Amino acid sequence: FSLHETFPRVMGARVRKVPVTDGFGFDADAWRDALAEGPKLVFLANPCNPTGAMLAAGELERIVAGLPDTALLVLDEAYGEFARSHPGYPDGLEALRRLDRPWIVLRTFSKAYGLAGVRVGYGIASDEALIQALDRVRTPYNVNHPAQEAAIAALGDPAHLADTVRRTALEIARVSGLLRDAGLKVVPSAANFLFIDTGRPADHVARELHHAGVIVKAWREPGYETCIRASLSTPGDNDVFVRCLTDICAKDTP
Ligand SMILES: Cc1ncc(COP(=O)(O)O)c(C=O)c1O
């Protein structure tokens, strides 16, 4: 997730990115090598943005076991609500609670709760001192009163959340299937978006989709320039996306 890189850079950090496997999964060797460099801060998003891939319980344990003593682990569960029903998805809080080391779990109301516009989320940390340190450097007006009220109301409506998660999972499975049937490579997603290798320059595909009224993100990092990330929507909107994408790909054989 780009801000895991941007904010540390703003603070003068040297950022080391850990690659994924060719299948867009967790690369245990790459993580071992990166952790051996002695990072002070380790960001891990589970599920991962942009791939939607999920780290299973055993994989999370391996990363935690390899953390240097000096490292603060930040486990970003922005899409955790979508992944929780997937077999093997670890409850990050449960996993980290047992540890005698500093950690923070990040959650947000921007994704499964659908409240991105109100800008509210929360962190759960290993100890009081860490929370106080964050409190000293946070901006003074960071979460406004209506946002806090909205968050509390959202927490009080688990049925709405469960319905959103259930409907999203159905659409993720349905749209993934349609795109794979059309010959596209789709990363298995435990989130509410899909990472798709279109086999064509992603910038071109995204521009064509935009002309048709569909906005996706084209990937520009070396090695991924044929990939797009698309957040899913209602079944009707998703059908428009599938039709436009398959039309573009049929027209422009690489
Ligand atoms: C992994 C991850 N963490 C955090 C965020 C941002 O969440 P918020 O809207 O709460 O700032 C995003 C948004 O795309 C994300 O993908």
- Ligand 1 centroid–CA 181 distance in Å is 31
Rounded to 5°, angle at Cα 127 from 122 and 132? 70
Of 120, 155, 190, the one marking the end of a domain is 155
Summarize pLDDT for 80-96 with one digit per residue, the tens.
999 998 999 999 999 99
Nearest CA to ligand 1 atom 9: 110
Of all residues in the chain, what percent carry a pLDDT higher than 70?
A: 99
Q: Quote helix, strand, coil % in the chain, to nearest 5.
A: 45, 15, 40
Ligand 1 lined by 115 (C-beta under 6 Å): no
Cross-strand partners of 103: 73
Q: What angle do CA 57, 188, 23 make, to 5 degrees?
A: 85
Clarify whether residues 21 and 37 are in a common domain: yes
Phi-psi group of 17: left, alpha or beta (phi > 0 → left; psi -120 to 50 → alpha; rest → beta)? beta
Domain residue limits at 108? 2-155
Output the CA torsion 17→23→26→27 (10° steps): -70
Same domain, residue pair 10 and 84: yes
Rounded to whole angstroms, how far apart are CA atoms 87 and 70?
32
Using the mean position of ligand 1's atoms as its centre, give its distance from the Cα of residue 77 in Å: 9
In contact, 189 and 153? CB cutoff 8 Å:
no
Which residue has its alpha carbon closest to ligand 1 atom 2? Answer: 78
What separation in angstroms does the CA of 227 have from each of 178, 201, 223? 17, 8, 9
Q: Tens of pLDDT along 150-198?
A: 999 999 999 999 999 999 999 999 999 999 999 999 999 999 999 999 9
Check if 231 has its Cβ closer than 6 Å to any atom of ligand 1: no
Residue 76 in contact with ligand 1 by CB distance below 6 A = yes
Please report, for residues 8, 43, 56, 252, the alpha-carbon distance to residue 2 in angstroms, rounded to integers and kept in the order given. 11, 11, 22, 30
Ligand 1 atom with minimal separation from the 120 CA: 10
Q: How many domains does the chain have?
A: 2
Cα-to-centroid distance, 221 and ligand 1 (Å): 19
CATH label of the domain that carries residue 59:
3.40.640.10
The CATH number of whichever domain residue 178 belongs to comes to 3.90.1150.10
> 78 alpha carbon to ligand 1 midpoint, in Å?
6
**In terms of domains, do 14 and 81 share one?**
yes
Q: Which residues pair with 105 in a beta bridge?
A: 75, 124
Give pLDDT, residue 70: 87
Q: State in Å: Cα 253 to ligand 1 middle.
A: 34
pLDDT digit string, tens, across residues 114-126: 999 999 999 999 9
Q: Is the CB of 49 under 6 A from ligand 1?
A: yes
For residue 152, which amino acid is it?
I
